[in-house]
Amino acid sequence: MPKFIPYNHDQNAMVVINFRDQLQPGTFEHAIHYLIHEKLDLSIFDYAYNNKDGGRPAYNPAILLSVVLFAYSKGITSSREIEWCCTNNIIFKALSCDTVPHFTTIASFISSHPQAIEALFEQILLVCHEQGLLGNELFAIDGCKMSSNASKEWSGTFKELQQKRAKLKKLIRHHMREHRRIDKTESADAEKQRRTAQTIETLSKAHDKIDKFLKTAAPRMGQAKRPTEVKSNITDNESAKMTTSKGTVQGYNGIAAVDKKHQIIIDAQAFGAGQEHHTLQPVIESIKVRYQKLKFAHNIYRKQTLVTADTGFANEANMEYLYTHKINAYIPDNNFRSRDPKFAEQKAKYGKRKPIKKIKTRYKEVIPASEFHFDASTKTCICPAGETMWLKREGADRYGKHQKLYFEGRLSKCRVCPLKEQCMQNPDSANDRTGHGRQVSFIIDKETKNKYTEWMKSRVDSEFGKMVYSHRMSTVEPVFANIGTNKGLKRFSLRGKAKVQGQWQLFCMIHNIEKLANYGDLTNAKRK
């Protein structure tokens, strides 16, 4: 029989561990430790503590921040799990110096300091600037919609909530009648009585919850040109019901602005709205103010820094804002690919499957209006055959959206025109004195109504604009992939815009710290 070294699991051993040796240079935990103890000013948390002259000593914000950042980097957002890790994980024990904060202390620290977290985000950004990780050449802006700690079943307009309250009231009355009927019977089932009473209590709580909300809150209005009521939410009225690729969620849209050089996040905000149109201006202004505050630049946009975002941020108001403030931005509209010859075959190749049978219509293909030469300044129109058409009328279209000029071909010309068969839906109409020639119409106020959108179209459709926009996806999308997949942020665990924004900025801060650990110089830590 071969000989082996004996072993025994039922024995104790004293292992000497130096916590600083566990934080090896080049690791993420070392980057957290170095930044917190060598670079960051944590006095911004002092306002929350009032135990200078008496009271129990509190956990140092440096310890709490260290374990929270490291836990978030591993996708751990539960405060109970963070407490468990401080007891059982050696890296957590090294970062917390073998202290174990209670989970309520950790949860309160995360949710109670949104302003201090934003200040920390700016301090990390300042370190990135000192390390030369900011290029300030191109900023890409995008959003990531995620659910939060709010139930979409408790959302609705005030009318819908009133209907739900009335329905609950009706159900309560029904169960109370049933409960009284059971009480009167001699063979009353105690278990059935208990279940009925519990149902009444549950329905009453839901009814009172909706009733209190309707009496204390006001209808929530959207931010469109004509504000209409949007759905409120009883659990978190600052959140919104949003449609995503994975279905409808109740949550927030985390907006991030990313610098192209090393994908450093320069701004992070959370908005409780599904539409991204109204988020562009606050983000651009926030970047400008932050760069002034950190003394990077008095006005970063005056240095011709490029700004790009996807089609969700494009509307006339935003384009006017960019034009007025002279911001060098490239934000395409929804139809920009259809104007690009490179994507001419994309829809046929990758689009939805076409029906096998061609749909028959009662209209035939004729020469389009784009083949007619229209001059808006002189209000004249020349057909493809070179004949001048007469102006039939000028006025609004049937929808009242645009002003149009309506032209019609002269019967004497259309009757003998060689292009009659290709130009008219009903060529025989030109042969009758009561008939009509070819009719076309042109919008004359499109350029004035969408003046700034047309300005942006010309920029995006240029070769330089296409080159700039091609960098958007490679700049901002990997950031969301890192935060969502690698760091495990699938949903916000807090309620309220301020708290959710603080959590979003914590994850963005972790992303920037990781960039510092990979591309910066954090090896000059001093031993204390």
What token pair was written down for 18?
Answer: 């130096």
Looking at the predicted structure, is the pLDDT value of residue 527 above 50?
A: no
Looking at the predicted structure, is the pLDDT value of residue 64 above 90?
A: yes
8 Å CB contact between 68 and 510: no
Which residue, 503, 288, 346, is CA-closest to 280? 288
pLDDT value at residue 351: 61
Looking at the predicted structure, is the pLDDT value of residue 441 above 50?
A: yes
Q: Which residue has the tokens 């990997």?
A: 478
Phi, psi of 168 (to 5 degrees): -65, -40
pLDDT value at residue 360: 58
pLDDT value at residue 313: 92
Mean pLDDT of 132-155: 91
Mean pLDDT of 517-526: 74
pLDDT value at residue 136: 92
Looking at the predicted structure, is the pLDDT value of residue 325 above 70?
A: yes
Q: What is the pLDDT of residues 464-473, one digit of tens each?
A: 999 999 999 9
pLDDT value at residue 119: 94
Asked whether the CA dihedral 509, 511, 512, 516 is positive or negative, the reply is: positive
Which residues make beta-bridge pairs with 391? 407
DSSP codes of every residue in 77-111: --HHHHHHHHHH-HHHHHHTTT----HHHHHHHHH
pLDDT value at residue 528: 35
What token pair was written down for 142?
Answer: 């995008």
pLDDT value at residue 188: 61
C-alpha 89: how far from chain center: 35
Looking at the predicted structure, is the pLDDT value of residue 196 above 90?
A: no
Which residue, 194, 198, 204, is CA-closest to 172? 204
Local structure of 403: helix, strand or coil: strand
pLDDT value at residue 106: 95
Cα gap 274→256, rounded to integer Å: 15
Looking at the predicted structure, is the pLDDT value of residue 493 above 50?
A: yes
What token pair was written down for 492?
Answer: 């916000």
pTM score of the predicted model? 0.79
Angle at 200 between CA 194 and CA 201, to 5 degrees: 90
Mean pLDDT of 147-164: 89
pLDDT value at residue 339: 82
Q: What is the pLDDT of residues 101-124, one digit of tens each?
A: 999 999 999 999 999 999 999 999
pLDDT value at residue 525: 41
Q: What is the DSSP letter of 147?
A: E
Q: What is the DSSP letter of 362?
A: S
Q: What is the pLDDT of residues 13-37, one digit of tens each?
A: 888 889 999 999 989 999 999 999 9
Confidence of residue 356 (pLDDT cuts 50, 70, 90): low
